[in-house]
Structure formats: structure tokens, C-alpha cells
Amino acid sequence: MTEKYTPPKIWKYVEGNGGKFAGINRPFAGARTEKKLPVGEHQFQLYSLGTPNGMKVTIMFEELLELGIKEAEYDAYLINIGEGDQFTSGFVEINPNSKIPAMLDKNNGKPIHVFESGSILLYLAEKFGKFLPTDLAGRTKVLNWLFWQVGSAPFVGGGFGHFYAYAPEKFEYPIDRFAMETKRQLDVLDKELEKNKFIAGDEYTIADMAIFPWYGLLVKGKIYDAGEFLSVHEYKNVQRWADDIIQRKAVARGRMVNRPSGPETEQVKERHSSKDFEGKSIS
């Protein structure tokens, strides 16, 4: 690091303290503007963005629809976090934590709010009885990995990704610290995927759907442009698992929903029916 920093006695918020997200980050919670969310015709309303956390849920919806479950039809609206859509009163009512993804189940007039991607995956898995075993041992295995993902990915996203891709300068200490942890986590997955086809056994489950958008896309060099830096080719079993998952039709559709950037042909900014995917594809 260039300058030696001594923390003051009391930390104080300084507006616009640098970094890519300085414009939206504040040390307090709650709505900043009054605005209702749009509501579509389907039972499920998703308010999200095509980041890895958002993708987990759109992949799950598309997998349920791929099984022919019509009740899983959903409307997906784009929440532009760079513009602060997550701080509107409508969004905060569903998720007081102001982070995508957030979901509304109209539930026959008794609305249920669901937030946290892991909670949404579990909710949908239980609602439709899919992608989560019902026996105690099998279910626990899946939930172990689902909770592992939710607890581990912040070291990759908020830690490694932030300092490698978004911080105003490249600082050696945090990049070292979080590159090491990211590689350790990839090795955890690699060792597990040496034993199993999928992360919690022979079946594809919500644990794979949670882990793939972070670690699968990372080893495929599709997030943070860090494939070479992290030597992702070393994780042969994670590569094999990611190759299996990335070619699933539902995963391809899920990756396009609410996608904020990239070629137009890879983006389905709002999703209301299968027709929205016409003429779209993603590699």
C-alpha cells in the first residue's frame, strides 16, 4: 500500500469515498425514494439483476419451467442497482436489506415476501417439491452446500472481486488475502466434485444452482476476467461440473434474464413469458 493509514478514533462516513459503488453505498438502511414496484400477471414476481446472485433464482425458475411446471411462470423485472432501484420504498418493503434478488409470491391474496437468494431457492424447491431431496440425509447435504455458498461467496464477490476488479486502485494485501481464500474455496469444491457428479451427490439440486453462477462462471473466465490470475484450469473437477451445467437450456435462459450488459442478443431485460427468449442465445 502506498500510504500508512491510522484509523481515527471514530469512523465517519465521507460521501463518495471512491470505488465503483461509491455512488450508492451508505452506512444506513431504509428507503431513499417513494416508488411502487411494477406487478405482472403471474403468481411470482421477481425483482432482480443478472448478477451471480440474481442468476441463481432465474436458473431455478427456468429449470422448473423446463420440467413442464406451468405454475412456476414468473415476471422478472430489472432492478438497476447502480441507479439505486433497490432503495425505493416498493423494493424495501419486500427486502429491507435492499439487495437483489427479491421475490413476491402473490399466494392467492396473502402475499409472501422472500429475499436472500438461498431463501428463495429453498422456498421454490419446497413449493414445487423439486431439486431438493426429501430424505433427511439427502436434504441436509444439499442445505450444507447451499449455506456454504451463501457464506462463502462474499469472500469471492465482496473480497476478491471487489479488490481485483472494482477498487479504485490495486492493493496487494487484500488481493492476496482474497485470492488465497477464493482458491481455497475452489479447491474445496474440486475435492468434492472428484467424488460426486454434482456438489451434493448424483443429483442436480438447488446447491448446484447456487454455486454455479459464482464458481462455475469464475472457472469459465466469465466473471472478473480473472481466469488466468487464479489459474482456474487447475480445478479439473470444477471445470467438468461447470461444463455439464453451462450447457443446460434452463441455465442458458436463466443467465440471460435481467442481464444488464453485453450483446443485445444475450439480454432478456424483463421476462414475462417464454416468448421473451425468441432470437436470444448466450455462449
Ligand X SMILES: N[C@@H](CCC(=O)N[C@@H](CS)C(=O)NCC(=O)O)C(=O)O
Nearer to ligand X, 100 or 211 (CB): 100
Distances in Å between the Cα of 155 and the Cα atoms of 103, 158, 167, 215, 243 are 25, 6, 15, 12, 24
Nearer to ligand X, 24 or 165 (CB): 24
Number of residues that bind ligand X (CB under 6 A): 13
Q: Which of 93, 116, 192, 203 binds ligand X (CB under 6 A)?
A: 116
Quick one: how far is CA 222 from the chain centroid?
14
Pairing of strands 102-105, 44-48: antiparallel
Min CB(64)–ligand X separation in Å: 19
Min CB(201)–ligand X separation in Å: 23
Q: How far apart are CA 270 and CA 127, in angstroms?
A: 24
Helix (H) or strand (E) holding 179: helix 172-195
Nearer to ligand X, 117 or 185 (CB): 117
Q: Which stretch binds ligand X (CB under 6 A): 4-12, 58-66, 99-107, 126-134?
A: 99-107
| Residue numbers 142-161 binding ligand X by CB under 6 A | 150
- For 192-211, give the DSSP string: HHHH-SBTTBSS--HHHHHH
Q: Is 57 in the site for ligand X (CB under 6 A)?
A: no
Query: Do the Cβ atoms of 117 and 129 come closer than 8 Å?
Result: no
| Contact set with ligand X (CB under 6 A) | 24, 51, 53, 81, 86, 98-101, 116-118, 150
